[in-house]
Structure 1
């Protein structure tokens, strides 16, 4: 098997798809849909996959807009992960229109070139910005038996390596007893006071953690009127660490103990619930990174290698990486831009970004070629 020859075929195949990949990306950009509501995006991707000869199963793991498209009958089985949800008020300010196009292009090109030497999977993964469908997809065994999962994120540079924060957001609600603030007979129990003590106590608690931890929150309910003692007060907290084991075994139990102690001291009761699922930290596979870096070099691209503990966000791709070998590098679509901003949304529709789709699709498909037995 001449893998260099197959890689040249990948390049030719992706280049031939340039018009449809551009059209796909710009269609998604012009029609942004929030997580779990990506009906047009999913239908478009499914339709394109079927046109390429993929078999499609829709409505996966409880998500109407999730799907699995497969083509080929051999091993290895390689997954290309498509994201396509947008952000409220910002549209595709995280470039998921580009992610979807790159993964579709890679899956189609790999299937066309590898034939029945492998099986190409295009997995539609909705709601990355919210509930993270990959969490449930991973739990349901969707990735079991697959050789690898590949996805590329647009950014302000070409990066590979690093990790992501494990995150498990927490809502904390204190319950007290209402009363008029001027009542001489019923003083009530102030739930807001308890919440404020908890909020302040987090600063001290964070200093006790031995590993990097992020605790930040907002008060979502502080009472109904200033002349009524609040009988309920709530806050939402983002809780992040570089290890999901440390997050679940140390950080969150510490927060719950703090809340319970304050409730006991103030005569309130407290409830702690997770309002979003656990996103595990990303584990980039070293062998896949080596293949990917070589293939980017073949495409004339230079890459910045990140330190192993370099993290600046969270993603449900982390959950996939705890199931099978995974990589989640970044590809530049412009300099001086930051995700989740209007400027990034504008860059995601630029002519340059559409050209970068081709580079990303080629790099992923060529990396999949390296995995052929």
Structure 2
């Protein structure tokens, strides 16, 4: 069978599953579940995979973060394997305002089609990845080594424009708490140790540090605890910050150490105590594979969805797909489901359940399957 025949077969298989795939996507859309609670989604996806001769497992490792993760394998002992990444968690109030119901649909369709069109020396895995919007299930999956041994990992994200390339920001949110000593604000014998002063000084110091950080650094800060009464010296003050950098090296080697050192110096100057911890895991920057990106550019263009090519350093957010890209060649293009749409909006939620959004997702499944076939047979 020629490559062209295999591609045609893959697209025909997806066409034959259109009703099933639409039903799954709409079920997810109509039953949105927050991260780590995606039980309905996992059940319906697991059943779909088993119906298509995949060996499926729900709950990966003993980690609580991966109890709504799943994997479906076809020809799992093959010498070469490609992974298709699915997501299915929703947003509070908005539901599927990031289109994860479509991501699941596209990756499921592509995985089934690839498995039935590729030579027997290749295996296929669909990874169901929980909680992308919160703790980042792929972070824990990558740390557990679940992506090792794969030739590639593929995912398409719905959006307001067709795009190929770019990256994502590394991020490692940080919480800093200062502990001082309270007293009455008018005490003549004890001035206390004002933890809020420490926090305010750190806030101001970070504004100065930003000017010295590498390009791409972002620090967003809020006060989550700042005292209880104005006539009492604040004994405890807490700052939470999202801290991002262009690369893990910038973030972990320059930006975060500078912030932590400043916090320690400020605490020492007041005689306060400081505690620091990361309240979310490290999301790494995305290292997209050039060969996969070139294939996506070609295939998307062939399907009438010519993408904008993003500069290598363009990033407007963070994703746990970045952690996957440190383990295996990875690509995540964007396929438009409505020009000009912005994710995490009510309009995007509507588009993710619209007829046009579903039609585009069927196209996305075909694009991903064809890219996987060209990548595999080009090896």
TM-score (norm 1): 0.98
Q: Which runs of 5+ in 2 are unaligned?
A: none
Contact 2:161–2:340 (Cα < 8 Å) also in 1? no
CA–CA separation in structure 2 for the residues paired with 1:274 and 1:210:
21
- For 1:226 and 1:336, how far apart are their aligned partners in 2? 47
Aligned-residue RMSD, C-alpha: 1.2
Aligned partner of 1:18 in structure 2 is 18
Q: More deviation in 12-21 or 164-173?
A: 12-21
Instruction: State yes or no: 1:143 paired with 2:147.
Output: yes
Q: Mapping of 1:1-373 within 5 angstroms?
A: 1-61=1-61, 62=63, 63-72=66-75, 73-114=77-118, 116-370=120-374, 371-372=376-377, 373=379
Secondary structure of the corresponding residue to residue 149 of structure 1: strand
Cα distance in 2 between the residues matched to 1:241 and 1:341: 25
Cα distance in 2 between the residues matched to 1:225 and 1:47: 56
How many residue pairs are counted as aligned between the two chains? 373
- SS of the residue corresponding to residue 46 of structure 1 reads helix
C-alpha separation in 2, matches of 1:340 and 1:184: 53
**Long gaps (5+) in structure 1:** none
Of stretches 106-115 and 37-46 in structure 1, the one that deviates more from structure 2 is 106-115
SS of 1:65's equivalent in the other structure is coil
The structural deviation recorded for 1:117 is 3.5
**Which aligned segments of 4 or more residues in structure 1 are displaced greater than 6 angstroms?**
none
Deviations 1:113-135 (A, max 9, x none): 22623111000100111111111
Whether the 8 Å CA contact 1:21–1:357 is kept in 2: the answer is no
**Contact (CA 8 Å) 2:214, 2:250: kept in 1 or not?**
no
Distance 1:344 1:226 in 2: 44
Distance 2:79 2:304 in 1: 29
Q: Deviations over 1:259-311 (max 9, x none)?
A: 01111112211111100000000011001111122222222221110000000
Aligned to 2:4, the other structure's residue is in SS state helix
